DNA sequence: ATGAAACATGAACCAGTATTCATGTATCAT
DNA sequence: ATGATACATGAATACTGGTTCATGTTTCAT
């Protein structure tokens, strides 16, 4: 019942137009992927529709067959980034019983991900201005999952007691900034070293 | 000698025009402060010169008496933000002998600062796209200072040994994200609590 | 085959806005 | 007083770039 209504008037969003053919599907993907590269490289404002479509190898008007607005393609990228990151980390920590080990695996996976997708990484930051809602969703979803994980680990006695919400944000911040050091500031330090130092900090702190 | 040359051709930057009168000084400040509010609120692109000047209570042309370009006023804001933050933290940690205590004082000062200047905080993030150079300078300067402090504390045996560079970035990330939680996500958690939890994490880690 | 739906094109439209400029007005040293 | 310099104005300029549209072309069910 709730489902049938959603089709006619799109309870949540009018997504431009969804392709109905394999050809359309391919074109839409081409545009989306071009947008990722172009926006990631030049930023939202300097990335014109013309740039994006020419990178995708289609005419300018084609863009508006699949996206109703420039902002929409951006939002979609942010959403996709969120799903990808969470999926990547979930996969990497799958089956790791010890939380401290899971932290290490998660941090490693995250840093590898941002190295593989430097564009997407920058895009999320710009969302704070271009699409604040997407930005909030991105971080709040991530933080909520993180917090739940920490709380479970506390119950299990795998980590010390503490304010899981603040911890979640703080740990997220560590990953974020270390990722930025890699991608934005182009550090050549190997990921394994960064993870080792970062993880030691997370586990033991800095007290003598 | 070095000075006299600097005047004619500005070795470092042509700062639009520096005012030479108290009146000019005041106008320039008014524009800069209006720019902070407007850009902070609407973002760089949606903040037009018209918005800024009308907020400042001057005509549009007046802007170009003091700034040669829209980007320049932005850069100046980022630079100012950097100086302000570093100054604020330096002041707060002044004379605190123990590094662990200094961390707490610094984190508190930082969070209080971002609460007092939410606009400036957002502006720095946007610099990644609008003025990447200013962005890099901001974080690298901050990180370098942080790292030096950590290294000194290590020598003094006040904190454990570890990769000071990575630690500096990680700790910066904690402050950054906790500040964001406050300002962007409007958490109502009192700063003292956030600091307590964050500081405990920094000092002791999360191991059981 | 064939008509309709989906897809594609790129030139034209148009709104917004950064920047310039010709024309004033205030301030101050002499 | 008076000329010079700093400061202020706001309309005009110039250009960018998102979006639309009239016109094709491809795909596919029947």
Nucleic acid strand D: bases within 7 A of protein CB: 5-12, 16-22, 26-28
Q: Which residues of B touch A194 (CB under 8 A)?
A: 166
**Cβ–Cβ of B204/A207 closer than 8 Å?**
yes
pLDDT at B206 over 80: yes
CA of A136 to C1' of D18 (A): 26
Instruction: List, in order of start, the domains of chain A with CATH numbers.
Output: 15-68 (1.10.10.60), 70-208 (1.10.357.10)
Give the pLDDT score at B9: 30
Q: Which residues of B touch A193 (CB under 8 A)?
A: 163, 166
CA-based radius of gyration for chain B = 20
Give the pLDDT score at A15: 52
Which among B186, B198, B128 has a CA at the least distance from the CA of A42? B128
CA of A61 to C1' of D21 (A): 10
Tell me the C-alpha to C-alpha distance, in Å, between residue A181 and each of A124, A198, B24.
Answer: 16, 13, 41
Query: Cβ distance B149 to B105 under 8 Å?
Result: no
- Out of A157, A177, A203, name the one closest to residue B169 (CB): A177
pLDDT tens for B20-32 read: 899 999 999 999 9
Q: How far apart are CA B120 and CA B132, in angstroms?
A: 16
Judge whether residue B147 contacts strand D, using its CB and a 7 Å cut-off. no
Nearest nucleotide relative to B28: CA against C1': D7
**Window 150-189 of chain A: CB closer than 7 A to strand D:** none
pLDDT tens for A164-186 read: 999 999 999 999 999 999 999 99
Judge whether residue B113 contacts strand C, using its CB and a 7 Å cut-off. no
Give the pLDDT score at A45: 95
pLDDT tens for B132-189 read: 999 999 999 999 999 999 999 999 999 999 999 999 999 999 999 999 999 999 999 9
pLDDT tens for A50-81 read: 999 999 999 999 999 999 999 999 999 999 99
pLDDT at B5 over 60: no
Q: Counting runs of H as helices and runs of E as strands, what totals does chain B give?
A: 10, 0
Q: What is the largest CA-CA distance in chain B?
A: 64
CA-CA-CA-CA dihedral for A181, A182, A185, A188, to nearest 10 = 120
pLDDT tens for A6-52 read: 333 322 334 568 898 999 999 999 999 999 999 999 999 999 999 99
């Amino acid at each position: 019942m709730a489902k049938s209504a959603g089709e006619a008037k799109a309870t949540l969003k009018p997504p431009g137009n969804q392709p109905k053919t394999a050809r359309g599907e391919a074109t839409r993907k081409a545009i989306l992927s071009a947008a990722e590269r172009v926006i990631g490289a030049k930023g939202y404002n300097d990335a014109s529709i013309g740039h994006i479509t020419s990178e995708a190898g289609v005419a300018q008007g084609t863009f508006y067959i699949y996206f109703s607005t420039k902002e929409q393609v951006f939002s979609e990228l942010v959403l996709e980034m969120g799903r990808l990151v969470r999926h990547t980390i979930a996969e990497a920590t799958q089956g790791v019983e010890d939380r401290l080990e899971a932290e290490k695996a998660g941090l490693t996976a995250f840093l590898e991900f941002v190295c593989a997708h430097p564009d997407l990484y920058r895009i999320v930051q710009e969302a704070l201005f271009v699409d604040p809602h997407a930005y909030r969703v991105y971080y709040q979803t991530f933080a909520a999952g993180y917090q739940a994980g920490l709380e479970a680990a506390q119950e299990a006695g795998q980590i010390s007691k503490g304010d899981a919400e603040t911890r979640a944000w703080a740990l997220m911040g560590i990953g974020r900034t270390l990722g930025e050091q890699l991608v934005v500031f182009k550090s050549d330090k190997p990921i394994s070293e960064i993870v080792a130092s970062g993880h030691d900090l997370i586990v033991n702190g800095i007290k003598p």
